[in-house]
Amino acid sequence: MFGAGCFWGGEAMYREIDGVLDVRVGYAGGHVEDPTYKEVCTDTTGHAEVVEVTFDPAVVSYADLVHTFWEIHDPTTLNRQGPDYGSQYRSVIFFYNQAQADAATASRTHAQGYFDRPIVTSIEPAPQFYDGEEYHQNYFAKTGQPSCHRRMWSIPR
């Protein structure tokens, strides 16, 4: 589960990766049960906008997904991505097991060498994921708008 600012853009970027089977947008990391988008946008629920990525590890590795995470947002800005600000836009990786925690931590250490400012991304055990409203799912495909995310950086592996 990855929080890289606006979940619409993160979803669009992960959907492009071979081996990604599904991407759901939603909310995680807060103290309100089953929050709504309107509630999360108040910056009072503690939740981040996140994408939950289901993938085939025989096709794409978790390390590759984490590598993409660093390239599609600015992990050096606290609670902000572009024009979006608030803790709901924080940079966060939620892991599901120790292998993912270790891979994410090693990747963060590697990525830090390619940024001029400190990476502020937190790496935390995965909390409850709450699905975002249906109109947020696959948003750019539904609306025909261009994605708000792009590969911002090229970080060697």
Tell me the C-alpha distance between 157 and 155, whole Å.
Answer: 6
pLDDT in tens, the chain (157 residues): 999 999 999 999 999 999 999 999 999 999 999 999 999 999 999 999 999 999 999 999 999 999 999 999 999 999 999 889 999 999 999 999 999 999 999 999 999 999 999 999 999 999 999 999 999 999 988 888 766 666 676 787 8
CATH code for the part of the protein at 2-143: 3.30.1060.10
Active site residues: 6
For 89, which DSSP code?
A: G
Beta strands in 104-149 (DSSP E): 122-125, 129-131
**Integer Rg of the chain from CA:** 14
Tell me the C-alpha distance between 48 and 30, whole Å.
Answer: 7
